[in-house]
């Protein structure tokens, strides 16, 4: 079975450039779509063709399904890669692509729908034998219902929006007195951000780690896992630093979790890349959600396995079987990714602007995934992620030393970035020892 001749990349920034590179190595022609604000973006400059799909606003460009599909039609693209964010987990978009006789490089619309709603995802995982955080079986309709359930779940309780993510629509109630107000605020945030005010409740774990498992499945019944990533260093539920493997897991825990996850994905006939996210506390894993797309932090998995996830994602979408089995996957060394955002490292205020100085670190075991270049202007309209600095070493200690060196070398001038924060983290005693949980960073920052 042949691969695609031409792929349209329905995204922007570093992930669009990452996908373009994979396509080029597979000798697949590329189409870049862009807003007027991204006309000078690196992936637009390097693509075989480019199409402007609208003004700077995301809703009028990168979220405009009709414009993207029209661009694919007029350029003769056979497949559309949605990247990360925007329409990457939109079942309607995936269905529209299939209706236009093109391939959506991702899972089926059915699986996107199931996993896109946290309640249906949780119910599905329970049916598949995957452990979940104790909580409500469905959406909470009334305060009286919440009050009754709180006695079963026990405080503290986390209230979460059934749709969306990124920390929006999430509130903690430490006792009965806080419950009503937390419900009201969570519903209000959920409605404002996702157009759906439904929320559910689950036990709030006090010192968990955030562990996610990368899986890859083809259309021939093969499912493998590529180990875990530890994403516990977060601010306002946004990941800042990720590493693989997790400093907290033993090989036995890793193998057991991977086995549970691959069996579950095989049962539902999942295809493509997917990431199942868990909270891990006192030796127990609790499923929280699944992302049915490529993850921002995928490079660290690539570094410890030697497998190009984007290439494999494209091959699977083309109908090819996996070229390796679970036994073929060898985990070697340690890798850490620092998310570099165009933000002030103290206030976290966005810092768009023109890049007046730029130098990337190099050397063995250092990788930079970024769309920045000298003279590029970071627009104010989108996510603030501008670069990912990835370090690799045979051991975690070597990886940390290499990362520390690379952070010293990395120069981005003209805008404020979170580079100083990462330079601080890499020298922190707790981080050096791998002793942290999902609340560590906010306590450290005092925010």
Alpha-carbon distances of 307 from 299, 312, 322, 435, rounded to whole Å: 10, 8, 12, 28
Whole-angstrom Cα distance, residue 295 to residue 278?
15
Whole-angstrom Cα distance, residue 153 to residue 316?
41
Q: How many CB atoms sit inside 10 A of residue 426's CB? A: 22
Whole-angstrom Cα distance, residue 225 to residue 256?
11
Residue with tokens 């969570």: 186
Among residues 209, 229, 271, 293, the one annotated as catalytic is 293
Using a 10 angstrom Cβ sphere, with 0-12 exposed, 13-18 middle and 19 or more buried, the burial of residue 64 is buried
Using a 10 angstrom Cβ sphere, with 0-12 exposed, 13-18 middle and 19 or more buried, the burial of residue 84 is buried
Residue pair 220/321 in contact by the 8 Å Cβ criterion: yes
Alpha-carbon distances of 339 from 102, 233, 263, 286, 304, rounded to whole Å: 33, 11, 32, 25, 18
Alpha-carbon distances of 385 from 37, 94, 381, rounded to whole Å: 16, 25, 12
Say which residues have a Cβ less than 8 Å from residue 325's Cβ, sequence separation at least 6.
Answer: 222, 224
Q: Decide the pairing of beta strands 238-244 and 334-341.
A: antiparallel
Q: Decide the pairing of beta strands 6-9 and 79-81.
A: parallel
Residue pair 227/304 in contact by the 8 Å Cβ criterion: yes
Radius of gyration of the chain (CA): 21
Helix, strand or coil, per DSSP, at residue 294: coil
Whole-angstrom Cα distance, residue 190 to residue 60?
22
Whole-angstrom Cα distance, residue 62 to residue 34?
7
Whole-angstrom Cα distance, residue 246 to residue 242?
9
Q: Is 293 a catalytic residue?
A: yes
Residue with tokens 């990360």: 84
Helix, strand or coil, per DSSP, at residue 350: strand
Whole-angstrom Cα distance, residue 233 to residue 230?
8
Residue pair 292/84 in contact by the 8 Å Cβ criterion: no
Q: Which residues are catalytic?
A: 293
């Amino acid at each position: 079975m042949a691969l695609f001749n031409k792929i349209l990349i329905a995204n922007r920034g570093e992930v669009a450039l990452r996908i373009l590179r994979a396509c080029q190595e597979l000798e697949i022609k590329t189409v870049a779509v862009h807003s007027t604000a991204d006309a000078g973006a690196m992936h637009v400059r390097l693509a075989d063709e480019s199409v402007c799909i609208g003004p700077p606003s995301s809703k009028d460009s990168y979220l405009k399904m009709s414009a993207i599909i029209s661009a694919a039609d007029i350029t003769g693209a056979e497949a559309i890669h949605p990247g990360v964010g925007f329409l990457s987990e939109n079942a309607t978009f995936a269905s529209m692509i299939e209706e236009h006789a093109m391939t959506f490089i991702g899972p089926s619309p059915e699986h996107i729908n199931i996993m896109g709603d946290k309640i249906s995802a949780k119910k599905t995982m329970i049916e598949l034998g995957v452990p979940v955080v104790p909580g409500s079986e469905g959406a909470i309709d009334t305060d009286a219902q919440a009050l009754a359930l709180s006695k079963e779940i026990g405080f503290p309780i986390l209230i979460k929006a059934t749709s969306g993510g990124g920390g929006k629509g999430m509130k903690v109630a430490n006792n009965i007195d806080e419950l009503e107000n937390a419900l009201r605020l969570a519903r209000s945030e959920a409605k404002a951000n996702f157009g759906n005010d439904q929320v559910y409740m689950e036990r709030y774990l006090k010192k968990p780690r955030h562990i996610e498992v990368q899986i890859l499945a083809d259309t021939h019944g093969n499912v493998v896992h590529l180990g875990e990533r530890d994403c516990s260093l977060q601010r306002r539920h946004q990941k800042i630093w990720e590493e693989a493997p997790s400093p907290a897991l033993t090989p036995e825990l890793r193998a057991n979790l991977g086995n549970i996850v691959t069996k579950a994905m095989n049962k539902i006939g999942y295809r493509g890349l997917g990431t199942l996210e868990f909270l891990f506390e006192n030796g127990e894993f609790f499923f929280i959600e699944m992302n049915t797309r490529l993850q921002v932090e995928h490079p660290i998995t690539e570094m410890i396995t030697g497998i190009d996830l984007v290439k494999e994602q494209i091959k699977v979408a083309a109908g090819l079987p996996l070229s390796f089995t679970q036994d073929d996957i060898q985990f070697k060394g340690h890798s850490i990714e620092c998310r570099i955002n165009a933000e002030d490292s103290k206030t976290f205020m966005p810092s768009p602007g023109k890049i007046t100085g730029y130098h990337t670190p190099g050397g063995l075991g250092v990788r930079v995934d970024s769309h920045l270049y000298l003279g590029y202007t970071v627009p104010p309209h989108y996510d603030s992620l501008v670069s990912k600095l990835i370090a690799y070493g045979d051991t975690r200690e070597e990886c940390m030393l290499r990362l520390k060196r690379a952070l010293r070398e990395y120069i981005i001038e003209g805008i404020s970035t979170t580079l100083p924060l990462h330079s601080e983290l890499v020298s922190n005693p707790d981080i050096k020892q791998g002793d942290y949980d999902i609340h560590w960073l906010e306590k450290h920052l005092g925010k």
